[in-house]
């Protein structure tokens, strides 16, 4: 579907990727960002990953305490080490920040606020931290954030703990913070299906970013290359 620049600026495409290995999705994000043009529509990709640790540009090896049999993948996003696994909702944000008129801090604040507002709908009080991007319930982290900016566009995104095995977080210093506790919706008494939470998250992100047209498109247009 062709869009004018004005239409592209107002439109957000959402793709449900299901459960996919990390590296093919990473490469697809990189290719999307490399090939996008001024009239390319922004997209959000929703996915679950099999167990994997990802280590950001600032990552230090000593923050990986005992990876065991879980692979560690160096990646080009900001931040330190985090964990992805089944039961965690990952949202990759492929956005033209120049077109949105947002800097890094602006988009990070809006992403955090989307999650905070979603949790607020369940009467859960949450907050962000300027020194450690992400969303926290009391002193426990429930969502992590990491972006890469290239030519005014971002990729990577957020991970939101829904109902997962949290044990692998004990094998790392999450986001580079020793003894940082993590939590998830299931621990907070919220037992909603992933699909419902994903739809609520997209709605909140849309409110924060201000698109006027939301399109749900299949994932079959994406080329997943494991390399």
The string of pLDDT tens digits covering residues 172-211 is 998 888 889 999 999 999 999 999 999 999 999 999 999 9
Of residues 26, 175, 182, 198, which has the active-site annotation?
Answer: 175
pTM passes above 0.85: yes
Give the residue carrying structure tokens 């992933």.
Answer: 194
Q: Coil, strand or helix: which one is 67?
A: coil
State the architecture of 5-221 in CATH terms. 2-Layer Sandwich (3.30)
The string of pLDDT tens digits covering residues 8-50 is 778 999 999 999 999 999 999 999 999 999 999 999 999 999 9
The string of pLDDT tens digits covering residues 119-149 is 999 999 999 998 888 999 999 999 999 999 9
For 224, counting Cβ atoms within 10 Å of its Cβ (0-12 exposed, 13-18 middle, 19+ buried), the class is: middle
Q: Is the model's pLDDT at 56 over the cut of 80?
A: yes
Q: What is the pLDDT of residue 163?
A: 98
Nearest partner of 102 among 211, 212, 209, judged by Cα: 209
Q: Is the model's pLDDT at 51 over the cut of 80?
A: yes
Q: Is 175 a catalytic residue?
A: yes
């Amino acid at each position: 579907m062709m869009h004018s620049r004005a239409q592209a600026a107002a439109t957000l495409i959402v793709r449900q990727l299901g459960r996919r290995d990390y590296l093919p999705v990473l490469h697809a994000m990189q290719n999307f960002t490399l090939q996008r043009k001024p009239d390319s529509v922004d997209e959000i990709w929703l996915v679950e990953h099999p167990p994997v640790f990802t280590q950001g540009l600032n990552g230090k090896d000593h923050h990986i305490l005992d990876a065991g049999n879980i692979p560690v993948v160096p990646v080009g996003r900001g931040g330190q080490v985090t964990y992805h696994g089944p039961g965690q909702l990952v949202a990759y944000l492929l956005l033209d920040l120049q077109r949105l008129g947002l800097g890094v801090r602006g988009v990070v604040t809006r992403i955090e606020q989307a999650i905070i507002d979603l949790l607020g709908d369940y009467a859960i009080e949450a907050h962000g931290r300027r020194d450690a991007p992400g969303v926290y319930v009391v002193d426990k982290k429930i969502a992590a954030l990491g972006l890469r900016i290239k030519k005014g566009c971002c990729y990577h995104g957020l991970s939101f703990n829904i109902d997962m095995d949290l044990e692998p977080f004990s094998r790392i210093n999450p986001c580079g913070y020793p003894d940082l506790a993590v939590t998830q919706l299931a621990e907070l008494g919220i037992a909603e299906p992933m699909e419902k939470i994903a739809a609520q998250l997209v709605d909140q992100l849309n409110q924060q970013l201000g698109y006027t047209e939301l399109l749900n498109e299949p994932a079959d247009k994406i080329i997943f290359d494991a390399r």
